[in-house]
Amino acid sequence: PDVPQRALTGDLPAESTVEELLQAAHARYAPLGEGEVADYIPALAEADPALFGLALTEVDGTQHLAGDTSAPFTIQSISKAFVLALVLEAIGHEEVHRIVGVNNTGLPFNSVIALELNAGSPMNPMVNAGAIATTALMPGADAEQRWQGVHEGLSRFAGRSLEIDERVLRSESASNHRNRGIASLLASYERLRGDAPEMVEVYTRQCSLLVTAEDLAVMGATLADGGLNPVTGEQVVSAEVCRDTLAVLAACGMYELSGEWQFEIGLPAKSGVSGGIVAVAPGKGALGVFSPPLDRAGNSVRGQRACAHLARTLGLNLF
Ligand code: DON
Separation between Cα atoms, residue 293 and residue 110, nearest integer Å = 19
Which one of 207, 232, 251 terminates a domain? 207
Give tens-digit pLDDT for 227-260. Answer: 999 999 999 999 999 999 999 999 999 999 999 9
Taking the alpha carbons of 172, 270, 252, 292 in that order, is the dihedral positive or negative?
Answer: positive
Closest by CA to 114, choosing from 317, 124, 184, is 124
pLDDT at 11 over 90: no
Domain of 242, in residue numbers: 15-75+211-313
Task: Tell me phi and psi for residue 27, to 5 degrees.
Answer: -65, -35
272 plus 308 within the same structural domain:
yes
115 plus 233 within the same structural domain:
no
Sheet holding 53-58, edge to edge: 63-67, 53-58, 285-290, 276-281, 269-271
Decide: helix, strand or coil at residue 115: helix
Q: Is 176 a known ligand-binding residue?
A: no
Q: Specify if 4 maps to a domain.
A: no
| pLDDT average, residue stretch 147-157 | 98
Give tens-digit pLDDT for 292-306. Answer: 999 988 889 999 999
Task: Answer whether 81's CB lies under 8 Å from 106's CB.
Answer: no
Give tens-digit pLDDT for 95-136. Answer: 999 999 999 999 999 999 999 999 999 999 999 999 999 999
175 plus 256 within the same structural domain:
no
Give tens-digit pLDDT for 36-87. Answer: 999 999 999 999 999 999 999 999 999 999 999 999 999 999 999 999 999 9
Please report the pLDDT score of residue 307 as a whole number.
Answer: 97
107 plus 66 within the same structural domain:
no
67 strand-pairing partners: 53
Please report the pLDDT score of residue 189 as a whole number.
Answer: 97
Please report the pLDDT score of residue 4 as a whole number.
Answer: 85
Task: Tell me phi and psi for residue 212, to 5 degrees.
Answer: -125, 170
Work out the percent of the chain whose per-residue pLDDT is above 70: 100
86 plus 192 within the same structural domain:
yes
pLDDT at 2 over 90: no
Separation between Cα atoms, residue 113 and residue 156, nearest integer Å = 35
Please state the domain count of the chain: 2
* Strand boundaries in 173-243, DSSP class E: 210-211
Separation between Cα atoms, residue 108 and residue 115, nearest integer Å = 12
223 plus 194 within the same structural domain:
no
Query: What's the mean per-residue pLDDT of the chain?
Result: 96
Which one of 174, 191, 207 terminates a domain? 207
pLDDT at 8 over 90: no
**Which of 110, 165, 277 for mutating ligand 1's site (highest number of atoms within 8 Å of CB)?**
110
pLDDT at 263 over 80: yes
Helix (H) or strand (E) holding 292: none
228 strand-pairing partners: 235
Q: Which residue numbers are catalytic? A: 77, 80, 203, 255, 273
Ligand 1 centroid to residue 179 C-alpha, Å: 10
97 plus 137 within the same structural domain:
yes
Taking the alpha carbons of 81, 225, 88, 142 in that order, is the dihedral positive or negative?
Answer: negative
Decide: helix, strand or coil at residue 63: strand
Q: Specify if 263 maps to a domain.
A: yes
As for ligand 1, residues whose beta carbon falls within 6 Å of it are 76-77, 109-110, 128, 172, 179, 207, 271-273, 298
CATH number at residue 43: 3.40.710.10
